Amino acid sequence: ILREDDPVPQTITQTVTDYIHAMAYADESLMRDLFDPRASIVGTFEGEIEWLSLEDFVDHMRKSERGLPDHDPAFEIMGIDKEGDSASVKLTTRFDGMDFYEYLSLLERDGNWSIVHKLYHVKA
């Protein structure tokens, strides 16, 4: 929840937008730029709980053989909660015909925001 005197830094919104593009285009390099190397990616996919390291997640993305989308990916930022150098972003996304709720935890270092954790839920 943001106070009126604490507007969302454009860099948070840009980090989320870059994340969406990295996911949509399976851009490994951008993914590594956006995520902290120690980040974890957690959620239930096809009935199984996934608890992936960044490298496992990037490897999974590489193996998905995702084709280039014919349009920019659909997403909506539902909310941003920021306090100091920490932020949490709730968003909805659509990838590979599936709708997701995603929760990204971000940490600011040297003026840049990096994703330290991703938690997701596939909408039924």
In order, the DSSP letters of 17-50 are HHHHHHHHTT-HHHHHHHEEEEEEEEEEETTEEE
pLDDT tens readout for residues 101-120? 999 999 999 889 999 999 99
pLDDT tens readout for residues 14-29? 999 999 999 988 899 9
Rounded to whole angstroms, the Cα distance separating 24 from 17 reads: 11
Rg over CA atoms, the chain: 14
pTM of the entire structure?
Answer: 0.87
Structure tokens at 45: 């996919």
